[in-house]
Amino acid sequence: MSEKIHAIGFYKSLPISDPHSLEDVQLPAPAATGHDLLVKISAISVNPVDIATRKGATDQTDQPRILGFDAVGTVLQVGKAVTLFQPGDKVYYAGSYSRSGSYSELQLVDERIVALAPHKLTDPEAAAMPLTTLTAWEALFEQLGIDPDDNTNNSQKSILIINGAGGVGSVATQLAHWAGLHVYASASRNESKKWVLEHGADEVVDHHHDLVDEVRGLGKQNVDYILELNNLTGHWDEMVELIAPNGKMCSITSTQKPVDLTVLKRKRVTFAWEWMFTKSFYQTDDILSQHEILAKAAALFDAGILQTTLQQTLHGITAATLRKAHAQIEAGHTIGKIVITKN
C-alpha cells in the first residue's frame, strides 16, 4: 500500500462549474483499528446529501472535506474488534456523515453499518443501493411502523410516496410493494412515470399537479401512509388533507419553515422524521441494525425481489467525473441512481 492515497475533496463551497468546487487531493493512507474495516473502493454513488453538504459549507478549511456516502469495495484490513468481516470480503455500505467519505481510493468504515455485497449484482449495481435502501427501509419499517412480514394486513393499506422516481423513491416503491401495500407514487415526466410503474408502484400521480386532486381522481379519498421524499413544506397541505384518520406520515427532507403539527390532532396522525445517518452519527444502541438491513436487502437483491436502481454509470473516480455527477443531480431530475466506477 502506498503511503498516500488519492481522494476527491473540497475546501470551501463553490459553484459546481468552478474547477475548485471538487479537487483531486492526496491524503495519508488510513489504517484500520477497533471496529473499522479498511476498504479498497471499486464503485461509489452520488446522493443529494453530497450536493447539500458541499453547497452548505460555510467556512474554508485547511483539510479537504471528503464526501461520498455509498460504496462497494474489498476489505483490505480489519481492526482488532472486528468480528463480522475478514480481508477479501466484498462489502457495500453508506457510511457515516461524521467521517471521511467514499470519494477515495481507500475508506475506513465501522463494520456495524456494513454488509456483504449482493452476490448477483455487479459492483456498480450494488453501489447504487446502500444509502437509499437504508433510508427507505428505516422510513417504512421503523418510522412508519409497517411490519414487512404482515402482508395480509398491509394488503388492506395504501401508501403515497411523494417523489417515487428519485433514488430513495425507487427503492421505497419496491419495498412498499414487497410488504403488500397498495402504492401510489408520484412522478411528473413520461420516463419517470414509466420508471415508478416498473419499480413497484400500482398507481402514478403527478407531483406538479395538486396531489389531492390526483389521488382522489383515482377514486382514493385518503391514504394510510405518506412518505415524503422531495419538499415537506411544498407538499405539507396536500399531505394533511390526504392522510387518513390514524394514519402515519414520514419525511426525509428538510423544511424551509416550521410545520404546524396541530393540524394533525383531529385525525390523530403520527408524524415521523427519517435521517439515515442518525444511528452512526449518535452511535445509537441499534447501530448494528444497519448491518442487518443491508444484509436482508442483499438477500432480496439476490432473490430478484428487489432490483437495482442504477440508471447511469460514469467511469473514473476523479474530481472531473464527480463535478459532472454533482451538476446532474443539482438539476433535480435524476431517475434512479448515478454511479461512478474506479475504472
Ligand X SMILES: NC(=O)c1ccc[n+]([C@@H]2O[C@H](COP(=O)([O-])OP(=O)(O)OC[C@H]3O[C@@H](n4cnc5c(N)ncnc54)[C@H](OP(=O)(O)O)[C@@H]3O)[C@@H](O)[C@H]2O)c1
Residues in touch with ligand X (CB under 6 A): 47-49, 52, 131, 135, 162-163, 165-169, 186-189, 192, 207, 229-231, 234, 252-253, 274-276, 329, 332-335
Cell of 253: 427532507
Judged by CB, which is closer to ligand X: 75, or 162? 162
Judged by CB, which is closer to ligand X: 163, or 321? 163
Cell of 81: 474488534
DSSP classification of residue 143: I
Residue nearest to ligand X (CB): 166
CB atoms within 10 A of CB 333: 12
Nearest-approach distance from CB 272 to ligand X, in angstroms: 11
Torsion over CA of 30, 295, 48 and 45, rounded to 10 degrees? 60
Judged by CB, which is closer to ligand X: 229, or 319? 229
Judged by CB, which is closer to ligand X: 120, or 333? 333
Nearest-approach distance from CB 189 to ligand X, in angstroms: 5
Judged by CB, which is closer to ligand X: 154, or 173? 173
Let me know the angle formed at the C-alpha of 278 by 311 and 330, rounded to the nearest 5 degrees: 35
Nearest-approach distance from CB 333 to ligand X, in angstroms: 4
Judged by CB, which is closer to ligand X: 77, or 170? 170
Judged by CB, which is closer to ligand X: 105, or 326? 326
Judged by CB, which is closer to ligand X: 39, or 162? 162
Q: How far is the C-alpha of 191 from the C-alpha of 175, rounded, in Å?
A: 21
Burial status of residue 74 (CB atoms within 10 A of its CB: 0-12, 13-18, 19 or more): middle
Closest by CA to 309, choosing from 130, 151, 138, is 130
Judged by CB, which is closer to ligand X: 49, or 339? 49
The SS3 assignment for 293 reads helix
Nearest-approach distance from CB 343 to ligand X, in angstroms: 25
Phi-psi category of 108—alpha, beta or left, where left has phi over 0 and alpha has psi -120 to 50?
beta
Nearest-approach distance from CB 102 to ligand X, in angstroms: 15
DSSP classification of residue 155: T
Nearest-approach distance from CB 24 to ligand X, in angstroms: 25
Determine contact, residues 116/37, Cβ cutoff 8 Å.
no
Q: How far is the C-alpha of 81 from the C-alpha of 44, rounded, in Å?
A: 26
Helix H segments across the chain? Answer: 48-56, 123-127, 130-137, 151-154, 167-179, 190-198, 211-216, 232-242, 278-281, 289-302, 319-330
Nearest-approach distance from CB 80 to ligand X, in angstroms: 31
Nearest-approach distance from CB 76 to ligand X, in angstroms: 28
Let me know the angle formed at the C-alpha of 217 by 144 and 167, rounded to the nearest 5 degrees: 45
Nearest-approach distance from CB 52 to ligand X, in angstroms: 6
Tell me the DSSP string of 179-227.
HT-EEEEE--SHHHHHHHHHTT-SEEE-TTS-HHHHHHTTT---EEEEE
